[in-house]
Amino acid sequence: MSESPHAVLKRIFGFSEFRPNQEGIVEALLENRDVFAVMPTGGGKSLCYQLPARMFDGLCVVVSPLISLMKDQVDAAKANGLDAEFLNSSLVASERRRVFLALENHQLDLLYVSPERFAMPDFIATLKQSEISFFAIDEAHCISEWGHDFRPDYLSLAHIATHFPKAGIAAFTATATQQVQDDIVRKLGLRKPYLIRASFDRPNLFYQVAPKENLNRQFLHFLRDRPDDSGIIYRTTRKSVAATAEFLQGQGIKALPYHAGLPDADRKNHQEQFNRDEANVIVATIAFGMGIDKSNVRFVLHGDLPKNVEGYYQETGRAGRDGEPAHCCLYFSQGDTVKIRYFIDQMEDPREQKIALGQLNHMVKIAQANVCRRKGILGYFGEPYPKADCGACDVCTGEVERTDATEDAQKIMSAIYRTGGKFGAVHIADIVAGADTQRIRQFHHDKLKTYGAGSDRDKRHWRRIIDDLLSQDCLVQSDDQYPVLQLAEKGMFVLKGGQPFEVLRQKESKKAKQAAVSMGEYSDGLFAELRIERKRIAAEAGVPPFVVFSDRTLREMARYFPCTEATMRMVSGVGETKLERFGESFLAVVRAYKETHPDEAKEMSVLHVPVELPRPKKKKPKGATYLETLEFVKQGMTIEQIAAERSLSPGTISQHIEKLLDEGEPLDIDQFITPRKRIETEELFNRLNADTLGAVVEASNGSVTYEQARLVRAFMQRS
Ligand code: ADP
Ligand code: ZN
């Protein structure tokens, strides 16, 4: 073993640096030590065993529970020039014989097997004929009954240490509590293992929470900005998966559904199309999970609230495994919380019920609290986050605004205080909004000082303030059948004016920014051509495109324009085998592109000297969005039609029109509202002598919408 691990990293895998913890694990294995590593998805686990497997003369046996993934993993290892094979029930007899022959002839670096094999005495005997350097056990938490994914098959792995006392054992998992960790170490019989608990932080993921409104339109809006990216949309029910997929297909998006109700063949086919970049979007229930190894998932959207943070973390974790920026957006509505609570209420076991409720509350808190989303997620796993600003979530980047709501909070809490903490959220909101209900009259709550103190806002507003107070621990809600609200210590403090209270509100019309890890500037045009070439080569070789080269690798090519073998070798992810196999094809693409686009290439061709390029895409001038709306207005379209056309909400379009009127654009109100409705609304404004929209909408008893009120007010102000 004359070459250093670092040199092998570059020569074989094409990477110039180890990711955190990889080097330590590799060295421990090279010293024949056992390893126990908790690494998040995308942490770069496979390299930890593939690299030493390549360096050792003997064989590395990889135990992996997912038959569906083995082929991709073997293909990926082969693409880097490793001698790898797999054994599982999907192989036909002739293939199986070929693998056993390679095994007998000591030709393999890596052999992937399913855990069931270890229950077969023949198999142990066969392995004993080979020289085994170490075992790598993937998803090691499956051996523990304490974990969430126990698989009885894994128990037979407990005998590895006794059958092969000289071979090392490396156990990997992405989820393990201390209890599960101890259990794994004991069951596998690891001998003073080298222990690694990697951080669960995924710095390349941008976390965002947006209010759930017209969900399908919101998805469409998001996707229109990323026509070439791959991503997953999670929905809770099969019905909603089908509906969303159908809607998106109708809009010309290559989206496919995935849920447990589909025939096996369809599910497999849809997953494969997604893997091969033939479909951009998978709309799925959480049944779509374990089997995804695709490294270039660029976004994960949640249309419904996940039941717990663990699920949310795992699902979002499928994005950006290649380390490139990826976007995670959760569309959140309080209604989802209510739905999940309803299901929790139906649970029979009170202990389970309590656990589920606690988990749900944590999830809601992350969606609502006034703190960095990343900090909230890591906090759930007991990991402190040291920075004040993560730079890659909507809270830290100011996509959402913090506004002071101390006065509103005091109104709510005063109502709770004055009624003795004996009432639920609906009634408290009614008191503050000054509603006339039977219950209010019955308890004489219309005589309270706080009654109607917030009549200028609607009940929805007050329900939101209550939710905010709950998520920021100012209130506690009893977990009875009819939950009541009570003041917590922190709430008391706010009520007495000892501390301000801030809430998060989405800023209008501002697009979420990129994650903190920047992709750097690169040529969009060349990147697109390289992707086409990758797809062609992948199809020819019968492997998914990301096995050929990752997105990151293509992006580097599109940034540095490597035109010779020597410069191509410097691109991250280009090792000697891939260079030999695919180098010429990609070099040809780069050279051809350079010929036709000499200007772009000149500025970028110096490898590893990043040059700032003007962004190829023109930025729209500020305000253009109003002007775009104006174009449609001129075509005589209604607000609803424009909203649908532009994938924006009618509310936003009415704001555009308000703005256009403000700027003196000569528009005709009759295009947007019937004369009768206009007069009715004008009268309300005059009668109430108000200019807040909420007051008019409320006073109209639902007959005037916010959009209509906004328009009429704008026209009234103009004249
Ligand atoms: P995990 O199994 O931990 O989820 P993988 O082993 O699939 O992660 O690795 C995720 C991605 O990271 C792969 O595309 C892999 O090629 C890439 N990768 C691994 N190690 C490095 C490294 N040192 N430098 C750059 N990329 C790496
Ligand atoms: Zn943050």
Q: Which residue has the tokens 């991250």?
A: 572
509 domain-assigned: no
Domain count, the chain: 5
Q: Are residues 419 and 439 in the same domain?
A: yes
Q: Are residues 411 and 317 in the same domain?
A: no
| Dist. CA 237–CA 243, nearest whole Å | 10
Residues above pLDDT 90, as percent of the chain = 50
- Binning pLDDT at 50, 70 and 90, where does residue 507 land? low
580 domain-assigned: yes
| CATH code of the domain covering residue 187 | 3.40.50.300
- Helix 309-316 to helix 350-368 angle (10° resolution) is 50
503 domain-assigned: no
- Which residues lie below 8 Å from residue 530, measured CB to CB, with a gap of 6+? 554, 557, 558, 586, 589, 590
Q: Which two tokens stand for residue 126?
A: 């066969």
Q: Which two tokens stand for residue 532?
A: 């086409």
| CATH code of the domain covering residue 487 | 1.10.10.10
Q: Are residues 211 and 324 in the same domain?
A: yes
Q: Are residues 25 and 131 in the same domain?
A: yes
265, pLDDT greater than 90:
yes
Q: Are residues 430 and 354 in the same domain?
A: no
Q: Are residues 163 and 57 in the same domain?
A: yes
| CATH code of the domain covering residue 706 | 1.10.10.1390
- Binning pLDDT at 50, 70 and 90, where does residue 390 land? very high
43 domain-assigned: yes
Q: Whose CA is nearest to atom 24 of ligand 1?
A: 15
Task: State the distance from the centre of ligand 2 to the C-alpha of 208, rounded, in angstroms.
Answer: 9
- Binning pLDDT at 50, 70 and 90, where does residue 33 land? very high
Q: Whose CA is nearest to atom 23 of ligand 1?
A: 18
Look at residue 684 in the predicted model and tell me its pLDDT.
Answer: 83
514 domain-assigned: no
Q: Are residues 352 and 436 in the same domain?
A: no
| Dist. CA 415–CA 682, nearest whole Å | 34
- Mind giving me the DSSP string for 491-509? HHHHHTTSS--EEEEEPTT
Look at residue 510 in the predicted model and tell me its pLDDT.
Answer: 41
| Dist. CA 650–CA 648, nearest whole Å | 7
Residues above pLDDT 70, as percent of the chain = 93
| CATH code of the domain covering residue 597 | 1.10.150.80
| Cα 339 off chain centre by | 22
Q: Are residues 331 and 288 in the same domain?
A: yes
Q: Which two tokens stand for residue 561?
A: 């324009």
For residue 18 and ligand 1, the question of a CB distance below 6 A is answered with yes
392 domain-assigned: no
Mean pLDDT taken over the chain: 87
For residue 302 and ligand 1, the question of a CB distance below 6 A is answered with no
Task: State the distance from the centre of ligand 2 to the C-alpha of 393, rounded, in angstroms.
Answer: 4
Beta-bridge partners for 327: 206, 299
396 domain-assigned: no
The amino acid occupying position 435 is A
For residue 45 and ligand 1, the question of a CB distance below 6 A is answered with yes
Q: Whose CA is nearest to atom 18 of ligand 1?
A: 44
460 domain-assigned: yes
Tens of pLDDT, residue by residue over 403-424, are: 889 999 999 999 999 999 999 9
| Dist. CA 236–CA 270, nearest whole Å | 18
- For residue 675, count other CB atoms closer than 10 A to its CB: 9
Among residues 174, 197, 220, the one where a domain terminates is 197
464, pLDDT greater than 50:
yes
Look at residue 603 in the predicted model and tell me its pLDDT.
Answer: 62
For residue 6 and ligand 1, the question of a CB distance below 6 A is answered with no
620, pLDDT greater than 50:
no
For residue 46 and ligand 1, the question of a CB distance below 6 A is answered with yes
Best residue among 26, 38, 47, 290 to mutate for probing ligand 1, ranked by most atoms within 8 Å of CB: 47
Q: Are residues 36 and 169 in the same domain?
A: yes
Look at residue 138 in the predicted model and tell me its pLDDT.
Answer: 94
> Which ligand lies nearest the alpha carbon of 372?
2
Q: Which domain holds residue 559?
A: 524-604
Q: Whose CA is nearest to atom 5 of ligand 1?
A: 44
Q: How far is CA 158 from CA 450, 487, 644, in A?
A: 66, 52, 59
Cα angle for residues 275, 557, 205 (degrees, 5° grid): 55
Q: Are residues 320 and 257 in the same domain?
A: yes
Among residues 162, 197, 232, the one where a domain terminates is 197
Among 71-80, 98-107, 144-153, 481-490, where is mean pLDDT lowest?
A: 144-153
> Which ligand lies nearest the alpha carbon of 38?
1
Q: Whose CA is nearest to atom 25 of ligand 1?
A: 15
Q: Are residues 191 and 209 in the same domain?
A: no
Q: Which two tokens stand for residue 369?
A: 């609290």
- Helix 459-471 to helix 406-418 angle (10° resolution) is 90
Which of 377-391, 438-452, 689-703: highest mean pLDDT? Answer: 438-452
Mean pLDDT value of segment 512-519: 42
For residue 44 and ligand 1, the question of a CB distance below 6 A is answered with yes
Q: Are residues 302 and 185 in the same domain?
A: no
